[in-house]
Structure 1
């Protein structure tokens, strides 16, 4: 009923990648595009969630796992209300991402690997985090002193080293149309 009213199917789009790879930039551009097309959307951004819902958590492996668990449950709630939920989280561990996938029906979780070289992420470093991590001021920083497990079989890959934000958004919209999440030409 909700999907019929909104004109699209509910789904969770999970943007994962290193800090500075472009997850939030792409998700914000996609969210604007979908909202302008009349889609019911919700953007859950890692930085915002870390200051509110997960403000009590640090960056230990257990806290990172709990951060993603909480976000997965919130994403599921918005999904159940018929939204297209865009989640932007480093989410470095494959097991945590798979737990979120398991919360949703088959074909409704889209892992989008925002792939960007560590060197380019360090060059961009919009928040100065890589500099701090290299100076030893941030412990367990993904890509420097803590691992990032790249997705082995993501639904989509966004190459932010070489593709434009607009081009990536177009690719994601086209993929969602092919998968039947969006009606054809929904993003136009």
Structure 2
């Protein structure tokens, strides 16, 4: 009986040892989840950041044309560069927008009046801004329009600082062609 129990113990030990060896071989051949998610290092500098061995920079788009058309972001999204695109869209309460538009219309009308008094030539951009603001106020008042804040951030990556600067100028050129200011 003792021989049978010893044989069972030896077999169990061998199976446990084989299992441990297989598990060890498996673990040495794969990355852990943390290895896949977390970078090896992260450094922040004033104009760029470094993520492991890659350099990166985030570009914020702050100015947009009067109207955007279908496919306006296509050149940027289809660029042959490594980049992350983040778009944030959130609604703004109509009362807040109306208050700001009232202030903006007053400012634009004052600017037009000052330009007229000083005998300056008419400014089509100023007149268009005033007309747009008035039209938006009317549409908001009727409930036909809703106002949203929009944030567009592009994060570009490169293997060196020189390449990062080249990619940034290329992306900013594409943005400029779409009348987007960054």
TM-score by length of 1: 0.26
Task: Name the structure with the higher helix share.
Answer: 2
TM-score by length of 2: 0.27
> Radius of gyration: which is bigger?
2
Task: Name the structure with the higher strand share.
Answer: 2
